[in-house]
């Protein structure tokens, strides 16, 4: 039995590498053509935020993200043509690298549980986690992306960088939190703090959902008797990232200083889309089904439970808050919700696989899991469908 599993994992790894290579080629094609807008104008189609990000950095001196300095360096040092190629390669690598790092994150979580997941399943989940989108239904919303809330996208470079570094940051956080009760080594604390700062530097949205969850976690530890100095030490890890976020906020404050925030429930979620209440549910259909299956014990699995807390924070922010001024229509609180969806889907997929392969899973629960499989399948097909549409050169608003 062990040999069969080992062989299955080996075959899966070969398929995995081939799929990643093909995916990398498709990504390079897409990113390159998105960036050609800088050279030839909008007539080349392939509309994206990425081209706008590069243009802001190179031609407008607008540095709202670490990505801006990467773009500025490539174009100013190597010229526009070579710069486009180098940015294409960088974005392709960042997108593809997120997949094996997602696999590593899964393994890090599983190591801290009482169950195991086959290697082939880890590889499969890591890829699906980076390709799925909202459960697309044309009757609910004609557009594939706008109007839904999605964990993955291919038109926004700062989100692409943030997703990669958010995954790496969580891997590092798990390792540092392991030795938390005995004391934290400064080197590990510093590596976590710097990674969280870099993630924030690319896009602050992960910090806006992670920091509140960390605060809840540390408050719980304090109430359970953890030493204050250790809790305080962990809390200090967000100081530098918050400082970076404040600087970004100042940079993005608007040419007339009018940008700000206000509380307006459901305004951000209903800003676009045909039936926003329906698409809200469809965007999280699979995790909701897995939550329903585990309604009586969802809190027992730490990975599953805390990703739901992360999702709740992201949801409350995008549900309650909107921006004002020049950025009133930008829906920037959606990015934090998107990254929280990424981790929620990941934890839900791990939970599904665990239920399906566990011989101790009850008949009713297993039957419901078989219902969840096609729901997840359509989330994945929706992502592949949208990605294929982008490759034809249409706008990301399609």
pLDDT(256) > 60: no
Residue 391 CB neighbour total at 10 angstroms: 15
**What are the boundaries of each domain within the chain?**
2-391
pLDDT(4) > 70: no
Tens of pLDDT, residue by residue over 156-182, are 999 999 999 999 999 999 999 877 767
Query: Which residue has 């009713």 as its token pair?
Result: 364
Q: Which residues contact 102 (CB under 8 A, 6 or more apart)?
A: 125, 126, 129, 130, 167, 346
- Tokens standing for 86? 């180098």
DSSP 139: T
pLDDT at 7: 84
**Confidence bin at 254 (pLDDT 50/70/90):** low
pTM listed for this prediction = 0.95
Are 163 and 98 within 8 A, CB to CB? yes
CA distance 308 to 354: 17
pLDDT at 148: 96
Return the SS3 of 254. coil
Tens of pLDDT, residue by residue over 46-99, are 999 999 999 999 998 889 899 999 999 999 999 999 999 999 999 999 999 999
pLDDT at 1: 40
Tens of pLDDT, residue by residue over 294-351, are 999 988 898 999 999 999 999 999 999 988 877 766 678 899 999 999 999 999 999 9
Tens of pLDDT, residue by residue over 326-342, are 776 667 889 999 999 99
Average pLDDT, the chain: 92
- CA angle (294, 153, 30) in 5-degree steps: 145
Q: Could you write out the DSSP letters of every residue in 29-60?
A: HHHHHHHTHHHH-GGG----HHHHHHHHHHHS
pLDDT at 6: 67
Tens of pLDDT, residue by residue over 212-253, are 999 999 999 999 888 898 899 999 999 999 999 999 888 876
Least confident of 16-30, 47-61, 195-209: 47-61
């Amino acid at each position: 039995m062990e040999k069969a599993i080992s062989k299955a994992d080996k075959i899966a790894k070969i398929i995995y590498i081939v799929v990643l290579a093909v995916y990398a080629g498709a990504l390079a094609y897409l990113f390159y053509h998105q960036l050609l807008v800088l050279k030839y104008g909008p007539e080349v189609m392939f509309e994206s935020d990425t081209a706008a990000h590069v243009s802001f950095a190179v031609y407008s001196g607008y540095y709202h993200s670490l990505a801006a300095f990467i773009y500025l360096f490539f174009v100013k040092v190597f010229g526009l043509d070579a710069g486009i190629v180098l940015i294409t390669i960088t974005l392709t690598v960042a997108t593809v690298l997120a997949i094996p790092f997602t696999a590593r994150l899964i393994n890090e979580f599983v190591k801290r549980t009482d169950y195991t997941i086959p290697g082939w399943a880890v590889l499969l989940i890591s890829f699906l986690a980076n390709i799925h989108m909202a459960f697309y239904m044309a009757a609910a919303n004609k557009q594939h992306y706008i109007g839904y809330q999605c964990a993955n996208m291919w038109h926004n470079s700062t989100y692409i960088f943030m997703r990669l570094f958010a995954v790496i940051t969580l891997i590092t956080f798990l390792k540092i939190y392991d030795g938390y009760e005995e004391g934290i080594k400064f080197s590990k604390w510093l590596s976590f703090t710097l990674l969280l700062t870099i993630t924030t530097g690319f896009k602050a949205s992960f910090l806006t959902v992670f920091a509140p969850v960390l605060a809840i976690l540390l408050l719980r530890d304090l109430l359970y008797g953890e030493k204050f100095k250790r809790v305080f030490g962990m809390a200090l890890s967000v100081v530098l990232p918050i400082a970076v976020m404040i600087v970004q906020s100042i940079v993005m404050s608007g040419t007339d200083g009018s940008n700000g925030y206000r509380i307006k429930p459901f305004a951000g979620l209903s800003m676009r889309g045909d039936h926003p209440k329906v698409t809200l549910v469809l965007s999280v259909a699979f995790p909701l089904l897995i939550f329903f299956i585990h309604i009586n014990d969802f809190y027992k699995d730490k990975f599953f439970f805390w990703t739901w807390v992360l999702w709740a924070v992201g949801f409350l922010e995008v549900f309650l808050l909107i921006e004002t001024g020049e950025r009133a229509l930008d829906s920037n609180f959606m990015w934090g919700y998107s990254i929280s969806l990424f981790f929620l889907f990941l934890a839900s997929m791990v939970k599904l696989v665990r239920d399906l392969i566990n011989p101790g899973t009850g008949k009713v629960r297993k039957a419901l899991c078989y219902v969840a499989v096609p729901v997840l399948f359509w989330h994945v097909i929706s992502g592949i469908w949208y990605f294929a549409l982008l490759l034809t050169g249409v706008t990301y608003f399609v």
